[in-house]
Amino acid sequence: MKRAIHAGLLAILLLAPVMAPAEAQRKSTPEAKISPEQASKIALEKVPGNVTDVTIERKHGKNVYVVEIQTTNEGERDVFVDIKTGRIVGTD
């Protein structure tokens, strides 16, 4: 019986640090009105190329999709698309 309790406590201690960041991520993820695919399409209208990554970050005071685009002439460019309105709020 003692072994079962110790094993259970050990499992909780080992899994808690792994599970905590995932739970925090879920709670802190903003409500997006547009999908990453829609944000990519919007960004490609501004900067043609190939989308390499899409993430959500806070830029220019807004939660935005950061759409990374590999261009043929300018290298990699980032386009910031507002997650609620779909408007481009900047580029980098």
* pLDDT per residue of the chain (92 residues) written in tens, 0 to 9: 656 665 555 556 665 555 545 444 444 456 889 999 999 999 999 999 999 999 999 987 789 999 999 999 989 999 999 999 999 999 98
Given a contact cutoff of 8 angstroms between Cβ atoms, the answer to whether 65 and 80 are in contact is: yes
Give the pLDDT of residue 61: 79
78 and 41 within one domain: yes
> Would you call 30 helix, strand, or coil by DSSP?
coil
Overall domain count for the chain: 2
List beta partners, residue 53: 68
Nearest CA among 27, 3, 7 for reference residue 15 = 7
Q: Whole-prediction pTM value?
A: 0.67
76 and 36 within one domain: yes
Cα–Cα distance for residue pair 24/45, rounded to 1 Å: 34
Cα–Cα distance for residue pair 78/45, rounded to 1 Å: 13
57 and 46 within one domain: yes
